[in-house]
Amino acid sequence: MDDSLLALLESMQLIRAFEEKAGMMYGLRKIGGFCHLYTGQEAVAVGAVSVLDLGRDYVLTGYRDHGHALALGMDPGAIMAELFGKATGVSRGKGGSMHLFDPAKRMLGGNGIVGAQIPVATGVALAQAYRGDGGVTLCFFGDGAFHQGALHESLNLAKVWSLPIVYVVENNQWGMGTNWKRVSSEEDFTLTVAGYGMKGLSCDGMDLASVRGALREAVDRARTAREPCLVEARTYRYKGHSMSDPQKYRSRDDVEEYRKRDPIDALKGRMTDSGELTEARWAEIAARVDAKVEAAVAFAEASPEPASGELYTDVYSSPRAAG
Amino acid sequence: MSVITYREALGRALDEEMARDGRVFLMGEEVGEYDGAYKVSKGLLAKYGPDRVRDTPIAELGFTGAGVGAAIAGLRPVVEWMTHNFALLAMDQVINEAAKMRYMSGGQLSVPIVFRGPNGPAEYLASQHSQSFASFWAHVPGLKVLAPSTPADAYGLLKSAIRDDDPVVFLESEMMYGWKGEVSDQEFLVPFGKAAVARPGRDLTIISFSKPARAALEAADALAGRGIEAEVLDLRSIRPLDEAALYESVRRTGRCVVVDESWPFASVGSHVAYLVSRECFDRLDAPVALVSGEDVPMPYNHALELAAQPLAAKIEAAALRALYREV
Ligand SMILES: Cc1ncc(C[n+]2csc(CCOP(=O)(O)OP(=O)(O)O)c2C)c(N)n1
């Protein structure tokens, strides 16, 4: 258990360091467009993915997808190359930050349209149920997405079809500049889903153990009893919505309050207190993570741009279909 | 005269129309407390309050449809879509409800509503966020579709749209919001269905609308360097379409290039090219050309993304071909 917890701590730190570097690279204009960083929310992706069976489960998410991709073990170099728009990127430079895909690593995508991954994920769970392969689908989305019709239609489908899916609402409390309370008729999302006859679980998204506990229960239910489930992870995003957000809607103090409960610091503290982690061991982890991130940037830098002919590849299964 | 941005021109139009008519209100994601995702509605919440500048949840189908309902019940809503990409979620309400209410009620209902927001590719936003839907909306009888490319036209057409008794889809662009232009300090309206001559010329006609109208002007500049005088027509209004102006120009120049950033298959551009080909057939000295967005989803990589768009160099090349000149 010791080792695996250390591995999860390292995974969270990798996301943190990767995102901080991505923010810098954006500042240097190596990355363009919308880039939504995941800092603050690391415990959710890492904790949730840690209870999956990556031989048969799948993950889908929105545009804030770097954290989920890294937690699934996707190659940081290929992710960074995607952000740089390079041919070696996970989506060959065609998707960018919001559209990271890697089916071999069980990642069926980052999606740019708020809530659009929710019906799609529901369909992935349908395929798993249809084949009876025992797989479970994890579908991540934000508090803002909770109010899309796509979610409500999907919850009902998942329930009436008994699909093996876990919906994870990462309630970081802000959908762009809108606090979730201002747009939610019911602030407790677990109560909303109760109306669909669906189990809802809450957890502290700043606490890895809490996330793992709730997700383990939810994934077990989905896998063994074919009971779809919703988990609300209360969390916080440290950075603006995307790189262009002046964040006038919240104060620095609000962010600082949450930073005091930083999920990485908290886990580090707990593991140090219990003797599972030493300063030296942490220094080793941090150095390894930094080296990985540096290597990712170097790989992205050195990678070629896609060839101009790539514009017309992968529109259809066969080039001739274009007609 | 003041030089203001496209964004400010839209904001001024909204402000004036809200002041003029208490039935006019704005709703959409982040239009109020955030002052607009692209700051078009800046200051309006402070001035008009939350009933008239209404923040919505992220629920395009719901709030767009609620706008349609408010319109048939006597209000004059302006619905802001954060971008037209997200309006796809609301298409049923626009096409099956807003566009058909008057017709299927036998003329008993009016739907005075404006749906507006940025359309078309910006930069580095990849395929789900970089699409031009002009053709989708223009396809539908019952909708009016406007696509101004200058601050003055944005101002004058938005005011006309808000006063109109039919549903209007208004196409803006993230890239155009910062564009500057002269706008009269006096109030004015721009009528629907009138194309603008953005640049007069005698050798060929370039027809465009929205953001690519500027690329068309750049191409005309480059052509002028080669001694070719291109006339550039900016449609401004796609539906109704100023067919007369197009035919008059092309009959005079004998050559035509149509520029549209949408995909080429069944687009506004392809339709205009068809109309011009049919109506000016006996006066054309070359086939009508269409310079469109490439027929692919938008890639993220910047070089590919630029290659996918109808930029000035492509328009210039198409014009030279229409003149049987070396490209
Ligand atoms: C259908 C749709 N509407 C609007 C947007 C623009 N948009 C992108 S992210 C976002 C906020 C989403 O907030 P939330 O679901 O809470 O997720 P978070 O960004 O906090 O992770 C909005 C409005 C979009 N991409 N898609």
pLDDT in tens, A127-177: 999 999 999 999 999 999 999 999 999 999 999 999 999 999 999 999 999
Residue of chain B whose alpha carbon sits nearest to that of A142: B58
- A310 located within any domain: no
**B211 token code pair:** 């953001």
Residues of B in contact with A34 (CB under 8 A): 124-125, 129
State what percent of residues in chain B have pLDDT above 90: 99
B33 catalytic per annotation: no
The contacts of residue B44 (CB under 8 Å, 6+ apart) are B11, B14, B15, B18, B26, B31, B32, B52, B53
Could you tell me if residue B210 is left (phi over 0), alpha (psi between -120 and 50 degrees) or otherwise beta?
left
- A158 located within any domain: yes
- From the list B8, B17, B29, B60, the catalytic residue is B60
pLDDT of residue A321: 60
pLDDT of residue A320: 63
Residues spanned by the domain of A267: 3-240+255-298
Q: Which ipTM was obtained for this model? A: 0.96
pLDDT of residue A244: 87
Q: What does the pLDDT average to over A190-212?
A: 98
Pocket of ligand 1 from Cβ distances under 6 Å: A 64, 112-114, 141-145, 172, 174-176, 241; B 29, 58, 60, 82, 86, 89
- CB-based contact B89 A178, cutoff 8 Å: no
- A193 located within any domain: yes
pLDDT of residue B49: 98
Q: How many domains does chain A have?
A: 1
Query: Whose CA is closest to A30, among A305, A245, A247, A310?
Result: A305
- A75 located within any domain: yes
- A247 located within any domain: no
**What are the pLDDT digits (tens) for B156-203?**
999 999 999 999 999 999 999 999 999 999 999 999 999 999 999 999
Q: What does the pLDDT average to over B77-103?
A: 98
Q: The CATH number of B196-324 is which of 3.40.50.920, 3.20.20.105, 3.40.50.300, 3.30.70.100?
A: 3.40.50.920
Mean pLDDT for all residues in chain A = 96
Cβ atoms of B181 and B6 closer than 8 Å: yes
SS3 for chain A is: CHHHHHHHHHHHHHHHHHHHHHHHHHHCCCCCCCCCCCCCCHHHHHHHHHCCCCCCCEEEECCCCHHHHHHCCCCHHHHHHHHCCCCCCCCCCCCCCCCCCEHHHCEEEECCCCCCHHHHHHHHHHHHHHHCCCCCEEEEEECCHHHCHHHHHHHHHHHHCCCCEEEEEEECCEECCEEHHHHCCCCCHHHHHHCCCCEEEEEECCCHHHHHHHHHHHHHHHHHHCCCEEEEEECCCCCCCCCCCCCCCCCHHHHHHHHCCCHHHHHHHHHHHCCCCCHHHHHHHHHHHHHHHHHHHHHHHHCCCCCHHHHHCCCCCCHHHHC
pLDDT band (50, 70, 90) for residue A292:
very high
| Domain of residue A213, CATH code | 3.40.50.970
**What are the pLDDT digits (tens) for B82-91?**
999 999 999 9
**What are the pLDDT digits (tens) for B223-263?**
999 999 999 999 999 999 999 999 999 999 999 999 999 99
The contacts of residue B32 (CB under 8 Å, 6+ apart) are B41, B44, B45, B50, B53, B54, B55
- CB-based contact A94 B304, cutoff 8 Å: yes
Dist. CA A308 → ligand 1 center (Å): 32
Q: Is the pLDDT of residue A2 over 50?
A: no
Peptide bond into B240 cis (omega under 30): yes
Which part of chain B is CATH 3.40.50.920?
196-324
Nearest C-alpha of chain B: how many angstroms from A182? 9
Residue with tokens 């890639």: B299
B271 catalytic per annotation: no
Which part of chain B is CATH 3.40.50.970?
2-183
**Structural fold of domain B2-183:** Rossmann fold (3.40.50)
Half-sphere exposure of B146 (CA within 13 A, CB side): 28
pLDDT band (50, 70, 90) for residue A1:
very low
Mean pLDDT for all residues in chain B = 98
Angle between helices B312-322 and B212-224 (to 10 degrees): 60
**What are the pLDDT digits (tens) for A220-264?**
999 999 999 999 999 999 999 999 899 999 999 999 999 999 999
